[in-house]
Structure 1
């Protein structure tokens, strides 16, 4: 019985050993590699450089008040279309007490001067009518009287401007009314009724009442890397992709390339600007981010292959074409324009040629 178990154990061990040898042999055998093929195709090849930026109006106009005070009325809101001289807001003047006091004193002094000049004028007028004084003497008195009246009018006008923000001499012209200086769309109204505003002067740019811009005259402003700036020039076509507008591209024309770069994150960037070409139905909001594809060169509907199918031997491009079942031969090709993914084929293959998809690692 023991002998039976001993023989059985030896048979099992021998079987495991033989199976292991067979398994290792099978693993050592190289599996045949099966290659797939692809055919050339007709497509558009666009060699482009990419810049990121945003779409902004070419000109933005900020409206500033000519007097300081409190906003009492706002006539527009963001998105409204305005014309030149249209009323935007109204300001209630809060006069400076020192300036107001000086203006009132000036009026009083001018009134006293006028009263005195009138007494002198009336007395000399009576004497002139009786031929007691000469004409030249009368003209001098008359001129002083008229100057006194003019000084009083100017003093009252100055007081009216300081107190009310409007000149009586100016008629309808009032500094308290902020008007549009250009036609366009209202982009922003940062003030509300009750806000205090400061006038624009030599020492202060003033409070912005509203921002206006022509939304049909837009530009793309972005930055491009120094490695790409040498490939572009003014007048090139640009395709704009706006992140907020899906499935649509806008045409633009490169207008400006900055002569000086700016360092950002260790790389030199150059500012570029391009005029956006809009149709009458197009509307793009100011500030949209966009990517600009600057078309360096382009060919439409040309015979192309994927660059991954092309191999190189001493710098000479070639592909392997199918001649039978898993049989391939080398075929030299002449390449044209490339976009980094697809490349134009000038000669060497036809549209129905089956090209080997090769595994470089294998």
Structure 2
């Protein structure tokens, strides 16, 4: 009885082994695809983010302090040099006004005294009592006194009204100093403004710029700035205008970088070539594609075919030696665009490179099991 049980167990084990071998033989063999190097052109680019701004922006500031009495133009209006933008109502300082009036009265008193002296000595000169030289001094004092009265009265008018009525030009009138488009009027009627002087930049009444001359201003990382040169051709893509790129030429690279979020960024500026069909507004966000390096008709492979040695970190590929037999070959890499990479040495155009992450048998087996 025991022998029967033992032979039964052996028979079952034998059948199981046969079934296992049958399944193993039924699995498809693992095979890998291959690819050959190819000739192509590779362009390495970087992207600088920034915005489009006018080449020059002019701030219009008042010559006198006061309150905005009237604003005549709106933002977006094109102006010529001398166009009236706004008018200021002067609110004089009481102390300064009182001092100016005091100077006027003092000048009139001096004029009255000089006039009396002039008239008295003129009679003496006419009768020959005094010489002409002595009389000319009294005449000079009289003329200077008349001029002092005029000057003091003008000072009083400037403090009170902001300008002299006889001058023909009122400092209270804010006019465009350059032709262009009004980008911004940061004040409104009733606002108090401060004049521009040696100690104060003054209040900006309006911002004017020539919108026919636009530049791109952006930033690029320090790792790429050394590869960029002036006069490099760029392509500017605007977020506000889809499917359109504007050509530009690099004109400025900042000699000093600024640290932002742990990386050093350098400012770039480029002249943008505008088209009549498109109107670019100041402040549009933009990206500039900059060509760092470009090579034509070079031998390359897909970057997905590369492998890297775990110890030396050197790149290599597996080249077909026989039927599903591959040989490891180190390669020297050149320029890359993230998809294709240049091969400088290590393989030839006739070599068949293993697509190491695609095994036909394995994929088919997984699909069958699913």
TM-score range, shorter chain: 0.7 to 0.9
> 2:206 — aligned with what?
210
Q: Please give the alpha-carbon distance, in whole angstroms, between the structure 1 residues aligned to 2:267 and 2:25.
A: 61
Matches within 5 A, 1:237-316: 237-298=233-294, 306-309=302-305
> Where does residue 9 of structure 2 map in the other structure?
none
CA contact 1:221–1:272 (8 Å) conserved in 2 = yes
Secondary structure, counterpart of 1:359 in structure 2: strand
On the 8 A contact 2:326/2:354 being kept in 1, the answer is: no
TM-score by length of 1: 0.79
CA deviations 1:44-91 (Å, max 9, x no partner) are 632112222222222221111111111111122111111222221110
Q: Secondary structure of the equivalent of 1:55?
A: strand
Is the 1:219–1:275 contact (alpha carbons within 8 Å) kept by the matching residues of 2?
yes
1:194 matched residue in structure 2: 190
Structure 1 stretch 335-344 or stretch 249-258: which is displaced more? Answer: 335-344
| Corresponding residue to 1:149 among 146, 150, 164 | 146
Q: 1:276 to 1:138 in 2, by over 3 A?
A: same
Q: How does 1:11-90 map to 2 (within 5 A)?
A: 26=23, 30-32=27-29, 45-90=42-87
For residue 168 of structure 1, report the CA deviation from its aligned partner.
3.6
**TM-score (normalised: structure 2):** 0.77
**Equivalence for 1:340:** 338
Q: Tell me, yes or no, if structure 1 residue 226 matches structure 2 residue 213.
A: no
User: Bigger CA drift: 206-215 or 307-316?
Assistant: 307-316
Q: Which residue of 1 aligns with 2:103?
A: 106
8 Å contact 2:31–2:324 — kept in the other structure?
Answer: no
Change (3 A) 1:54 1:22: farther
The C-alpha deviation readout for 1:13-57, integer Å capped at 9, x for no partner, is xx9xx89x9699748964455767889999763211222222222
Relative to structure 1, the CA distance from residue 133 to residue 289 in structure 2 (aligned partners, 3 Å threshold; closer, same or farther) is same
Residues 28/70 of structure 1: CA separation in 2 closer, same or farther (3 Å cut): farther
Whether the aligned pair in 1 keeps the contact of 2:52 and 2:215 (CA below 8 Å) is yes
Q: Is the 8 A contact 2:36 2:349 kept in 1?
A: no
Whether contact under 8 Å (2:257, 2:264) holds in the other structure is yes
Between stretches 334-343 and 38-47, larger displacement belongs to 38-47
Counterpart-to-counterpart distance in 2, 1:132 and 1:279? 86
Aligned length, in residue pairs: 341
User: Which sections of structure 1, spanning at least 5 residues, go unmatched?
Assistant: 1-14
SS at match of 1:78: coil
Deviation at 1:124, TM superposition (A): 2.0
CA distance, structure 1, for counterparts of residue 318 and residue 54 of structure 2: 50
Cross-structure match for 2:118: 121
Q: Judge conservation of contact 1:44–1:301 (CA < 8 Å) in 2.
A: yes
Q: What residue in structure 2 maps to residue 3 of structure 1? A: none
Instruction: In structure 2, list runs of 5 or more residues that go unmatched.
Output: 1-11, 363-370
CA shift for structure 1 position 128: 2.1
Distance across 2 between alignment mates of 1:257 and 1:179: 35
Determine the C-alpha separation between the residues in 1 that align with 2:68 and 2:36: 72
SS of the residue 1:278 aligns to:
coil
1:85 partner SS: coil
Deviation at 1:335, TM superposition (A): 8.1
Question: Root-mean-square deviation (CA), in Å?
Answer: 3.8
> Given that residues 70 and 92 in structure 1 are in contact (C-alpha distance below 8 angstroms), is that contact kept between their aligned partners in structure 2?
yes
CA distance in 2, matches of 1:25, 1:208: 90
CA distance in 1, matches of 2:332, 2:258: 40
Cα distance change of structure 1 residues 167 and 336 upon mapping to structure 2, 3 Å threshold: same
8 Å contact from structure 1 (residues 239, 295) kept in 2: no
Cα distance per residue 1:95-125 (max 9 Å; x no partner): 1111111111111111111122112222222
